[in-house]
Amino acid sequence: MSSARGFSGRDSSRGTGWRAGARVELSEQDGVRSLHLGSSMVQSAMRLAAPEALELAYTKCMMGFALFHPCPGHVMMIGLGGGSLTKFVYHRLPRTKTTVIEIDAQVVATARNYFFLPPDDDRLQVFVAEGGEYIGSHPYATDVLMVDGFDDGLQAPSLCSQDFYNRAREALKRNGLLVINLLGSDKGFQEYIRRIENSFPGNVATLKVEPHGNVIVFAFKHDPGKLVWESLPERARKLETDLGLPFTQFVRKLHRRKPS
């Protein structure tokens, strides 16, 4: 989800909007199709000429996990949206299996009907379920857990509690990494950070997304180690060639938070 606005809601000179479900709305403008859930906030966006690419800056930053896990065996995602990150991982990381947990069946149908989300196969499984409950029953299950879950423009309460972050840590394998999309303008932002640091003491880094105010949080089950941190610039250069994203910028902006 991005804090960028621009949803027309109806036909207008700015673009075209239509409803795909009870609370699911779509819009198109300048060759970009966007998903909105109950508000004008852009939940997901896809450039029609490049449906497998990442359009929104925050989704590109969430792929910063590749600096630490360039080829994860399993990625788990909570929150599907239009499936931008799911499609990117599916097409660009062919050795990775992806499990997506989405609470709204209409969102899943919309992603498949309007955003070219691939059908389930041996590398992709999409489940309609509540994310916190799902990961609570799947300990030690994934290398990377990505969380992008909002409700009416705010963090879904069930996805930002202390219990949820504790469960998220338990769902990770030994060298696992939690990746969370937060809005810096959310009044609960500092409390969410405090809870994440409680669950992942001394192992949290943040990446601010310009210009929209998203903050991507990376929480490590265990510190990757000095050698990994020192090798990030070199890793970034290789990943830019492999994945076509600005990883060197990510490294420069990545902020390791000191233990409180």
Catalytic residue positions? 148
Smallest Cα–Cα separation from 221: which of 147, 140, 107, 151? 140
Q: Burial level of 12, CB count in 10 A (0-12/13-18/19+)?
A: exposed
Q: How far is CA 197 from CA 18, 64, 148, 162, 165, in A?
A: 41, 19, 18, 10, 9
Smallest Cα–Cα separation from 75: which of 171, 183, 192? 171
Q: Contact at 8 Å (CB) between 135 and 76?
A: yes
What the block records as the tokens of 147 is 């969380």
Smallest Cα–Cα separation from 47: which of 119, 117, 148, 115? 115
